Amino acid sequence: MSTALSPDLVTAAASFLLTVMVLSYLVGDNPLFRLAVHIFVGVSAGYAGAVAWYQVLWPKLFQPLAAGGTGERLLSIIPLGLGILLLAKLSPRSARLGNPAMAYLVGVAAAVAVGGAVLGTLFPQVEASTRLLDVTGAASAPEKLFEGSIVLVGTITTLAYFHFGARNTAAGPRRNRLVELLGLVGQVFIAFAFGALFAGVYASAMTALIERVSFIWNFLAGLF
């Protein structure tokens, strides 16, 4: 049986063409690269729209309105009204009608972001930092205490770097000398942190590039 038009071969060929079109950016911006970008954006938008419909709009809005009880229908009217008001933003003449819905979205997003940062990042980070100073039952107490001290110094000096309070002097606004000194130390920790992040991003990008080059090589080797 011929496998020339098998689904796996078609998928591999499409992946090969898209990979080559994206890598063509190495020689400069060109129509092939722009076409690949448009395809990726269109597919991403279509996937996001499908997820929004099947996981949010239909089960949580239209289905309760069509077959839900009285309470569910009343609760569904609120997001439906906000959604209709948000569509008013499409026209400059009716854009003001969408301001309440937009304000609601911004407020909820800000609350979720702040709550997530405080409960999901700040408090766990503080707890993890203080736990590093707990040498109870540690096999090597001096080593653990040293690691915890570095984390504590890095946290304090980094926070001091982002302290922008200053006093007016004859030479202009100046920060406290102690805060200035701690801020200089904090710069070192920030530089190390950004260096580690950049190294991680670079390693991930190189891994993806190697995987794509290996895919191209294997695809061509399979053809010839």
Confidence of residue 176 (pLDDT cuts 50, 70, 90): confident
CA distance 104 to 111: 11
DSSP bridge pairs for 176: none
Residue 4 has pLDDT above 70, yes or no: no
Q: Which residue blocks in 118-176 are alpha helix, DSSP H?
A: 123-131, 141-161
Residue 3 has pLDDT above 50, yes or no: no
pLDDT, position 148: 81
What is the share, in percent, of the chain residues with pLDDT greater than 90?
A: 35
Residue 21 has pLDDT above 50, yes or no: yes
Lookup: tokens for 69: 């009880």
Residue 177 has pLDDT above 70, yes or no: yes
CB 17 within 8 A of CB 33: no
DSSP bridge pairs for 199: none
Residue position matching structure tokens 């001290």: 149
pLDDT, position 138: 60
pLDDT, position 5: 63
pLDDT, position 41: 96
pLDDT digits (tens, 9 = 90+) for 22-68: 989 988 889 999 999 999 999 999 999 999 999 989 998 888 888 88
Confidence of residue 137 (pLDDT cuts 50, 70, 90): low
pLDDT digits (tens, 9 = 90+) for 67-100: 888 888 888 898 889 889 988 888 888 889 999 9
pLDDT, position 135: 67
